[in-house]
Structure 1
Amino acid sequence: MTELGNRLKETREAKGYSLEDLQRITKIQKRYLIGIEEGNYDMMPGKFYVRAFIKQYCEAVGLQSEVVFEEYKEEIPTTYEDEIPVSLSRVQTKKGVPASSSKVFDVIPKLLIALFVIGALIALWVFVQNKVSDDAGNADPSNKEPVAVDQQDLPNEDEPVEEEDKDQKESNEDTESDQEKAAKEKEDNTGQSLEAVKTEGTKTTYELKNTDQFKLELAAKGDAWVAVYNSKDEVLFQGMMYDGDKKEYDLTAEQEAYLVIGNAANTGINVNGKLLEYKIPTETVRQDIIIQYQPAESQQ
């Protein structure tokens, strides 16, 4: 056990917290808390999360994380290069491609673009030629016949507009205006509402209203550690997500969802297809998101 681990454990026990209590407070798995106390950082998702978990641990037991990081900087990892093994793997694969093949791959897109441009120009030339031929045929005087116009059928500009037609036009405009207002009011009354109602530290509480469903989607734009809990505090998911990964949950039967986002900048949260805006800037890497759901039926 490291000196940092001993200090954290002694502080936790002085507070009267068990590992289960600390897991409940921090939302960090018990096995990771044990790894922090034992100095076993290899079992963590990555060095980036070692620092995040230690910071959360310190805040839970009342220690100043900045002081702890400075005092034990020789023990705590300072980089997170091992957080992107997939990216490293992709880079190595690209390096293994022969130079000649790489040049061929560079030329192919340019060749395809050139062919596309040539084809577009040919199609445009054919269209213009056909258009010119049609216009020339229509302009032939032999194909036109004079049209007799009865002067009696032309409207008299001096005649006043009939009052009946004017009233009918105004009535139609009023009816359309009323219909547009009603449609807009209906849309406003039935539109989903997702608003942040409370922010405390790194935790933000949102209220979801005016909807009869609660569908949650998490979309990763990079490497991120994520945990999802329902209103019974049951774990629906806990682990790493990588670029392009998605997780979907139908929580319509739940009253609340608790999300632990390990890297807010790399994690998008969609509620019923609407993107949730982080109330706290994503420079705050770890954020806790609580979504309280009030079905539309219960609000009536």
Structure 2
Amino acid sequence: MGNELLIGDNLRQARLNKNISLDELQQKTKIQKRYLEAIEKGAFDLLPGDYYVRTFIRQYAEVVGVNGDRLVAIYDGEASFGDPLPKREKPETVQGSRSSSSTKQKRKKNWVDYLPTVLIGLIAMTILTIVAYLSIQNNAQNPIIGSPSSIDVRNEITTETTTEDSTEETDSTQSTETTTTSETQEKEEMVIKTTHQTQQDVTVAIEQAQSPLELTFIGLDGRCWVGVMVNGEYVLQYTLEPGDSQSVTLPEGATQANIVLGASANVDMKANGELIPFKEGTMPLLQKNMTLTVSYAMNR
């Protein structure tokens, strides 16, 4: 216990001599202040264990300029304040010595050691430069596409004429095929027509529709009840809210559907993504009864 008090007092005096407060010491050593106070009072039993006692003594001593190894030796009973510091093996010092020796050996190397590598690099770059230069000169003197000779001019003209004729025929054929395809596509575009319109009833015809036909109802400013009937049976009954949407696919091959729209001004209707015009402006909130006829495009 006497050595502990002496160690703590020795460290405390060294700290005061350097005008270091306990708070500053805590920041430098990262040791909690209560442990620093315990060390100065010699109350080592308040520290977590012997390992931390030795570690904290060394850290404290290093900051205040005291030989921490000597204090640890005194704590372990291997020395006293009147004895010289006992010799202790330090693996860290050996490792540092080896590292220092290795560094010195590396420093002994000078630029002469790297001279062969530098010379090899310069030679390789010179060879690559010469090869690239010769390749460029060769390409300039012997182009890949040679100039036509006077002997083969007639044959080349004939070949070029034949090639041009073939190209024109091919372009003509492609143009004809494109025109035919465009005409076919134009013929197969879906057409939506309103064939009959009153305030309450409307008849809409859809031609060249792609099967299956999907009807989509989109809610607008108010609620709208939607009913879709095919072959006397409802395939959709739904009340749309504003911003809501509902879709139904007609049965395959269905050519007619009867549709009831409660407040017709509050809904938009689409067939396969295309808008169906059915609204009549005089009484927009009137119920609308729609007869929808459908003919389908021929699949080719």
Class of the TM-score when normalised by the shorter of the 2 chains: 0.3 to 0.5
Task: State the TM-score, normalized to the length of structure 2.
Answer: 0.42
Task: State the TM-score, normalized to the length of structure 1.
Answer: 0.42
